A and B are shown apart, each in its own frame.
Chain A
């Protein structure tokens, strides 16, 4: 794996028209989406620097934070395993799988293989988990639509957020025709619905659900998982065993910090204020077993030993990454090559920094895959100095190459290396430099007497797409003595006020219920403001208008239902679920639901239609406030629901209704005026 083979892959990518269209769309739409989403925050720069500081603290004191986090998670009833490397992680999982097998009589010659429903996890990609499981005779099904598509194609994801970003709808149409036996179609909702049906069966029959973890909260031991389609909720709720895979660095100290990072991650990743489902997992559900595998796999090396003393490893900042993919979307190199050309499962700027340590030292050369334009750093919601770290990898300072290849100039061609050494010799002394300048000037004017830009051949690299300027016969240093300086007196005017930015205008005060309804409507959901008196009739009328004759309910939803049969146990044939909610979040149009004490999270997940009932007094302005409710800490699990389930995994075309409900209706009972 060298720069040369990378160049071959780059040429393939550039020649692939379909890929180029897909990548251009990705770059433009993701950038616009990200900028629009951040426009709704009044204090983005402060949030970025706070996030940076929090991560710096977590990484500096990682050992202590891990001890506290693990203690809390274990106290919550989750079984914690620590894996030093790929091999250990896989061994741990296979042991879990074997115990499940023994319990459910999957062993024996005629037994069907163990079925694993898997939600998206970059850590699992990093350790090539699926391959290891399949070799052990376990059937693994990816349930994120994009991941499912690449798995069916026998590929690996080409982007850390949108795995199938390299494909167009026609590719998916052909794939589903071939592998799932449906007639060829380019209709994205049909394709999505096909996957939904296949995967619904997987969720309901899976022996084990696997998920990644976006954030682990130290103070509560909460695992937070963010998805849009609902597959993450399915994998962590339905199967009897849930195994979460997490990199050791993915910690935030408090729930307040979690609220901050949740305000940054979806905005940076997909341009959403919040993803549709933010799961908050504290402990196993009744009858469920939960495991957490904490993976190191090079992270301690990235962090370096003496970090708390102020000096970390040169790449320690890469551990601040929250895997939002914004640097990929901003990167002009990624825009041309796509993810696969990088060879590593972590592509783009962050991938070029970490792949040499977390995946394989051979990927260190990827640090050359950058023009150092800095668009990645600018896009990073945690303000990670990606160009700075790319330079360190190039300088041979990555922990991996420090051991195995202590040479400088990692990845650069020998010719360039020699050229720069020669240049240093010439430029080390100004007299010698002047001689080379004059020689260069003379030579270039002989070579190209008329044209100021010389034609040079493609093999020079530069000459591949541009002409090269002639050197001056008389460089600046030779002209300097002849320059006459006429210094004007005080010609300058005083500094004008160039600041054209207008003072922040405060948005007009809006009642929370209006804000909530507006945000929800923007997501494709609907809110109905009703009085307490009219509510029962309105709800009945609503359900009847939808032809719904039975509803799945939890404890909080049950008390609202009067005339329609209520089902308590998950039943896939019931079309609507009715639930209460702990709180409504006005600035994102979200609902906070928690499980426990008769509350389950299935009524808001399995049916096609979710009806939630909420009082206006339960509305809070922000996510941070919602997360301060004590139930968030005490309930086994909670979820923040932000609109109906959705995906944009095929050509970034928004499709509503994937694994979770396709309709979300909220009855907002106005209790502001006492009856």
Chain B
């Protein structure tokens, strides 16, 4: 009997990019895992938490904890930012509430970002994926610096057959998404995005790989505004090829 993992698909993938969710399920299946999707899940509460509205974030965090407490096994989150929220942010959010803090702490130990789980826990890098052509990878801030996950997605991409992986210049710079930042300080967000797209274009790669949907919709949205044809894909979409 294959082991079952819980998928916290994130509200962005759920609402905007369900095909990425499907790719994630496929990839996890290929890694020998059965996937369960607790359908009462919604959002982890990060947008409100990051805006400083902790009383708005709390009900969503409590909801998320309640939903996943009913399950067992690892919880896979295909976003560095949401995974960092549940792993670290909840501990801050419930700092002054011992009962909830304990529940949050228990949940945090079960949470893994998608690529982190595949590589560090399952020992999987080779998924027999095939992607003909050039790829470049943008490490999302919360994945890279919030969780320290970088070697894992790079190892997974390095194992993709046919792919030529090129380095993104200034790869570790923020793309300017930053949640509400992209809305409330649009001029700054635009400048970050401009630089990210220019660096992407320098690679002459038609495809940019990310492991976080926030960056994906931000960079793809910028490319669309500029009428450019390059694509931004989630790493699960690359790994889901054969």
* Closest B residue, CB atoms, query A490: B32
Set of chain A residues within 8 Å of B33, measured between Cβ atoms: 487
Contact with A along B182-218 (1 / 0, CB 8 A): 1111111111111000000000000000000000011
- A412 touching B32 in the complex, CB below 8 Å, given contacts A417-B53, A427-B11, A496-B125: no
Contact B174 A375 (CB under 8 A): yes
Partner of A7, one of B18, B37, B187: B187
Cβ-defined contact, A374 with B141, below 8 A = yes
Contact A464 B55 (CB under 8 A): no
- Asked if B105 is at the interface of the complex by the 8 Å CB criterion, the answer is no
A429 to B39, CA, bound (A): 11
Interface string of A426-465 (1 = CB under 8 A from B): 0111100100010011000000000101010010111011
Of the listed stretches B23-31, B130-138, B233-241, chain A binds: B23-31
| B224–A424 touching, CB < 8 Å | no
Question: Interface centre among A409, A424, A483, by most B CB within 10 Å?
Answer: A424
- Which A-chain residue is minimally distant from B189 (CB atoms)? A465
Give chain A's interface residue range (CB within 8 Å of chain B): 35 or more
Q: A488-B30, A490-B32, A491-B31 are in contact. Are A476 and B21 (CB under 8 A)?
A: yes
Is A375 in contact with B172, judged by CB distance below 8 angstroms?
yes
Q: Which B149-208 residues have C-beta < 8 A from chain A?
A: 151, 155, 172-174, 176-194
B192 cross-chain contacts in A, Cβ below 8 A: 332, 336, 371
Beta-carbon contacts under 8 Å, B1-35 to A: 2, 9, 11, 13-18, 21-22, 25, 29-35
A469 to B29, CA, bound (A): 28
Taken together as a complex, chains A and B put the C-alpha atoms of A430 and B9 apart, in Å, by 13
**Does B230 belong to the interface (CB within 8 Å)?**
no
B99 within 8 A of A: no
CB within 8 A of B184: which of A378, A453, A461?
A: A461
**B73, CB-defined interface residue at 8 Å:** no
Are A483 and B180 in touch, CB under 8 angstroms? no
Q: What are the interface flags for B51-89 relative to A under an 8 Å C-beta threshold, 1 for contact and 0 otherwise?
A: 111111101100100000000000000000000000000
B29 touches A486 (CB 8 A): yes
Contacts of A372 in B (CB 8 A): 50, 141-142, 178-179, 181
| The one of A337, A466, A487, A490 that contacts B218, using a Cβ cutoff of 8 Å | A466
Q: Is the CB of A480 within 8 A of B185?
A: no
Q: By the criterion CB–CB under 8 Å, are B52 and A487 in contact?
A: no
Question: What per-residue 1/0 map shows which CB atoms of A327-339 lie under 8 Å from chain B?
Answer: 0000011001100
Interface pair A420/B48, CB less than 8 Å apart: yes
Would you call A374 and B145 a contact (CB within 8 A)? yes
Is A594 close to B, CB under 8 A? no
Interfacial chain A residues near B32, Cβ < 8 Å:
487-492
- The distance from the CB of A422 to the nearest CB of chain B, in whole angstroms, is 10
B188 touches A437 (CB 8 A): no
Q: Is A485 part of the contact surface with B, judged by Cβ < 8 Å? A: yes
Report the Cα distance A487→B45, complex, angstroms: 32
Which residues does chain A contribute within 8 Å of B45, judged by CB atoms?
Answer: 424
A566-587 vs B, Cβ < 8 Å mask (1 yes, 0 no): 0000000000000000000000
B183 engages A461 (CB within 8 Å): yes
- CA–CA, A337 and B194, complex, Å: 15
Chain A residues near B224: list those with CB within 8 A: 451, 453, 466-467
B52 and A410: CB pair below 8 A? yes
Instruction: Determine, out of A156-164, A242-250, A281-289, A387-395, the stretch whose residues face the partner at the interface.
Output: A387-395
Q: A391-B52, A417-B53, A480-B39 are in contact. Are A371 and B176 (CB under 8 A)?
A: yes
The distance in angstroms between the C-alpha atoms of A460 and B225, with both chains bound, is 14
Partner of B15, one of A460, A475, A486: A475
The answer to whether B53 and A420 have CB atoms under 8 Å apart is yes
Binds B, one of A196-204, A362-370, A529-537, A544-552: A362-370
B92 within 8 Å of A (CB atoms): yes
Beta-carbon contact of A3 and B184 below 8 Å: yes
CB contacts (< 8 Å) of B220 on chain A: these are 453, 469
> Which residues of A lie under 8 Å from residue B63 when comparing CB positions?
427-428
B17 touches A472 (CB 8 A): yes
Q: Is the CB of A467 within 8 A of B225?
A: yes
CB distance B179 to A428 under 8 Å? Answer: no
Partner of B119, one of A10, A476, A498: A498
Out of A10, A430, A471, A491, which one reaches B16, CB within 8 Å? A471
Q: Bound state CA distance, A332 and B144, in angstroms?
A: 16
In the complex, what distance in Å separates the CA atom of A194 from the CA atom of B56?
A: 59
Asked whether B52 lies within 8 Å of A430 as measured between CB atoms, the reply is no
Determine if A378 and B183 form an interchain contact, defined as CB atoms under 8 angstroms apart: no
**A373 on the B face (CB < 8 A):** yes
The CB with the most chain A CB atoms within 10 A, among B34, B123, B145, is that of: B145
CA–CA, A621 and B145, complex, Å: 34
A404 CB-CB contact with B under 8 Å: no
Task: Establish whether residues B180 and A416, one from each chain, have CB atoms under 8 Å apart when the complex forms.
Answer: yes
* B94 CB within 8 Å of chain A: no
Instruction: Give the residue among B39, B52, B119, B125 with the most A Cβ atoms within 10 A.
Output: B52
Q: Please report the C-alpha to C-alpha distance between residue A468 and residue B214 in the assembled complex, in whole angstroms.
A: 11
Contacting B21 at CB < 8 Å: which of A393, A421, A430, A479?
A: A479
A14 touches B191 (CB 8 A): yes
Instruction: Indicate if the CB atoms of B124 and A493 lie closer than 8 Å.
Output: yes
Distance to closest chain B CB from A658 (angstroms): 33
B185 & A396 in contact (Cβ 8 Å cutoff): no
Closest to B121 in A: A495
A374 closest partner in B (C-beta): B145
Q: Which residue of B lies closest to A468 (CB)?
A: B221
Point out the residues of chain B lying under 8 angstroms from A370, CB to CB.
178, 181
Residues of B close to A479: CB separation below 8 A: 18, 21-22
Contact A472 B18 (CB under 8 A): yes
Q: Does A628 sit within 8 A of B, measured CB to CB?
A: no
> 8 Å CB contacts to B: which residues of A316-372?
332-333, 336-337, 367-372
Q: Which residue of A lies closest to B196 (CB)?
A: A332
User: Are B18 and A485 in touch, CB under 8 angstroms?
Assistant: no
Are A427 and B141 in contact, CB atoms less than 8 angstroms apart? Answer: no
Q: A371-B141, A433-B42, A465-B222 are in contact. Are A424 and B174 (CB under 8 A)?
A: no
Instruction: Tell me whether B101 is interfacial, beta carbon within 8 Å.
Output: no
Q: In the complex, what's the smallest C-beta–C-beta distance from A23 to chain B, in angstroms?
A: 11
Instruction: Tell yes or no: A474 within 8 A of B by CB.
Output: yes
> Does B114 touch A at the CB level, under 8 Å?
no
Q: Is the CB of A464 within 8 A of B189?
A: yes
CB-CB < 8 A to B54: which residues of A?
395, 408
Please report the C-alpha to C-alpha distance between residue A373 and residue B141 in the assembled complex, in whole angstroms.
5
* A408 and B58 alpha carbons, distance in the complex (Å): 13
- Whole-angstrom distance between the alpha carbons of A367 and B178 in the complex? 13
**Does B183 contact A424, Cβ atoms closer than 8 Å?**
no
Chain A nearest CB, measured from B170 CB (Å) = 9
Interface string of A503-530 (1 = CB under 8 A from B): 0000000000000000000000000000
Residues of A contacting B124 in the complex (Cβ-Cβ under 8 angstroms): 492-493
State whether A412 and B9 are in contact (beta carbons under 8 Å apart), knowing that A336-B188, A488-B29, A495-B123 are contacts in the complex: no
Interface residue? A629 (CB, 8 A): no
- Ranked nearest first, the 3 interchain pairs of A and B with the lowest CB-CB distance are A394-B52, A371-B178, A495-B123
List, sorted by A's number, 30 A–B pairs whose CB atoms are closer than 8 Å.
Answer: A3-B185, A10-B187, A10-B188, A336-B191, A368-B184, A369-B188, A371-B178, A372-B142, A372-B179, A374-B146, A391-B49, A394-B50, A395-B53, A420-B48, A424-B57, A427-B60, A430-B40, A462-B186, A465-B190, A465-B193, A466-B225, A468-B217, A469-B17, A475-B14, A475-B18, A480-B39, A485-B25, A485-B29, A487-B2, A492-B126
